Amino acid sequence: MKIEYLHASKYGNGARVAEEFGEQMATKGVTVDIHHIRDVSPSRLPSADLYLFSSPGRMGRPIGSMRRFLKKVGLPSGTRYAILTTEAAPRPDKKTGRMPTEEEIARWQHVRPIMNEILQGKGLVEVTEDKILVTGVKGPLQEDWQQKVGAFTERIPVES
């Protein structure tokens, strides 16, 4: 099985996640080629069994370069993809100290839904998605990020 991992890492967090994903999938005998989106043409992506798209979130959305890249992706309808994003960790309310609920977070965090809307609009088929949380604007990644990547790799169907 071959996976093309396309990320738009800005501060290096997404690149670290991509490298960890590649290492974990290599133990399963899966080849993962990792590319920053600035280094590949969205209309001429290398062939693969699965495409994994990764973007940091900015103001609850994927960064602009990733949105533009996805709109130009030229993959055939029915192509399988996955999404693994780096998003801001929720913080407690400054006045009450209460952490936001999943429903409250979903109201302002739209990174994966926007990416899915673009890709599914092209006829691509989602396999799985997840997020890795970042504790600050430039990082670092949350403590358990390698385990979250591991859990994500378990949801990737590995073909013999």
Residue 91, CA distances (Å) to 87, 88, 96, 101 in order: 12, 9, 11, 11
Can you tell me whether residue 15 is helix, strand or coil? helix
pLDDT by residue (tens digit) across 70-98? 999 999 999 999 999 998 887 778 888 88
Domain ranges in the chain?
Answer: 2-154
CATH fold of 2-154: Rossmann fold (3.40.50)
Which of 77, 99, 103, 78 has the alpha carbon at shortest distance from 89? 99
Structure tokens at 103: 């429903």
Instruction: Produce one character per residue of 2-20: b if its CB has 16 or more CB atoms within 10 Å, e if not.
Output: ebbbbbbbbeebbbbbbeb
pLDDT by residue (tens digit) across 98-134? 887 888 766 777 899 999 999 999 999 999 999 999 9
